[in-house]
Chain A
Amino acid sequence: MTNRFRYSAFAATATLALLWPLFAWAHEETGQAAGFVSGLTHPISGLDHVLAMVAVGFWGAQLGAPALWALPVAFPVVMALGGMLGLMGIPLPGVEIGIALSAVALGAMVVGEAKPGLPIAAALVAFFAIFHGHAHGTELPDGASGLYYSIGFVIATGLLHAAGIAFGMVHERPNGPVILRAAGGLVLVGGLYFLWRAIG
């Protein structure tokens, strides 16, 4: 590891640490802290969301650059469009089914180590991102700040992707591809369970 890499990593971490709490805690008005915490916990409070988010990271790690970073760039933006629909009260049919299907589809991609072109991979991820965003958007708690809720759930989603990518780096190790495909299998099974629940 070079010094430049170390310094950059330290600077990035220090900046994030400096900025992070300032969004949430230093307010006298009500709703900001509650909104931020609700947003931050919402994506990790549902296993169906978690499975799909980490699977995006797994798949990105299998696909390598540029998908490795293009998918986590595309996902939050399209998810936000879904969230905007939810916040504005515009209904989207089959949200729960869409979320479950996202885990099934992304898990299957990881199990099969599918390597479509970047546009197809990005389109698939973006399509499912709308359902996740809509669910987040419709579940903004009463009285919470929409801005801080949004900040919270975008950060949480991004960190889940990062966790998926970090685990996905096992792909570069001996037996790593098998381990990653097995993890994709767990996502697929979990997705099927949530799909069964959503339909039933």
Chain B
Amino acid sequence: MTNRTRTLTAAVLGAGAIPGIADAHLVNTGFGPFYDGISHLFVTAPDILVVVALGLLAGLRGPTTGRTTLAVVIVAWTVGGLTGLALAPPVVWAAATTVTFLALGAALAVDREVPTGVVAALGLGVGLLHGFLNGAEAATSGIGLVGLAGSLSALAVMATLITALAVTWAQGWTRIVVRVAGSWITAIGILMLGWLFRPGA
């Protein structure tokens, strides 16, 4: 790794770690913490965008990559979630979660062949980060382990459905639709970074 790459990596990681505004939040469904946890995933745009982007990316690479990444991201999200629940840090790394879906959206739009290991590694990083933040929020909001279980259930179902759909969309015009969706996700990420770093934020 050259000095320039090292500096750039440090700057990106540093920017990503700046605590930001809480975009993730909890909805009181009235049905208890498990359902609050389920709804949490669906109303937290960075989480949904990252699950959609990762599921599509893994699915486009074929069934083997899809299955591997799916398993990795669910386990990583669980490990991250339990860690966040235990540590309960009162921070929301908005820039970091934005960078994750931005990068996955860009990878989706570019649509280059990448080995299964690379996609699975992306799933590992994404799962640990987003899971950790989910767990931390479950702890601070009081929905605890049951809420986290709801959130994980929603994640598993969504990720499985999206990855499975993407496997069937890997050929023809639907692959192009998926790539366009990747460019939209990238665009949303870029705009979100602009909003996070706007004057007075």
Contact = CB atoms under 8 A, between A and B. Distances in A.
A29 B21 CA distance: 13
Contacts of B177: 12
B192 A22 contact: no
Contact of B176 (A69, A86, A137): A69
B194 A88 contact: yes
A150 B187 CA distance: 8
B183 interface: yes
B165 A11 contact: yes
B168 A146 contact: no
Given A69-B180, A73-B180, A150-B192, A19 B187 contact: no
Nearest to B42: A22
A89 B174 contact: no
Contacts of B46: 147
Given A27-B27, A28-B27, A12 B174 contact: yes
A77 B198 contact: no
A76 B186 CA distance: 8
If over half of A's interface residues share one DSSP class (helix, strand or loop), that class is named, otherwise mixed; here it is helix
A84 B27 contact: no
B195 A22 contact: no
B25 A29 contact: yes
A12 B177 CA distance: 9
A76 B165 contact: no
B18 interface: no
Contacts of A147: 23, 45-46, 188, 192, 195
Nearest to B161: A15
Interface in A144-184: 145-151, 154-155, 158
Contacts of A89: 198-199
A69 B111 CA distance: 13
If over half of B's interface residues share one DSSP class (helix, strand or loop), that class is named, otherwise mixed; here it is helix
Give the interface residue-count category, chain B.
Answer: 35 or more
B179 interface: yes
B71 interface: no
Nearest to B106: A77
Nearest to A8: B174
Interface residues of A, number: 39
Contacts of A158: 180, 184
B67 to A, nearest CB: 19
Given A81-B190, A84-B190, A69 B48 contact: no
B120 interface: no
A11 B166 CA distance: 10
Interface string A23-38: 1001111000000000
Interface in A75-92: 76-77, 79-81, 83-89
B103 interface: no
Contact of B194 (A12, A72, A84): A84
Contacts of B169: 8, 11-12
A145 B51 CA distance: 21
Interface string A130-146: 00000001001000011
B144 to A, nearest CB: 19
A15 B186 CA distance: 19
Interface of B: 23, 25, 27-28, 39, 42-43, 45-46, 48, 52, 109, 162, 165, 168-169, 172, 174, 176-177, 179-180, 182-184, 186-199
16 contacts: A12-B169, A15-B162, A15-B165, A26-B42, A26-B43, A69-B176, A73-B180, A73-B183, A76-B187, A87-B198, A137-B194, A146-B194, A149-B191, A150-B188, A154-B184, A154-B187
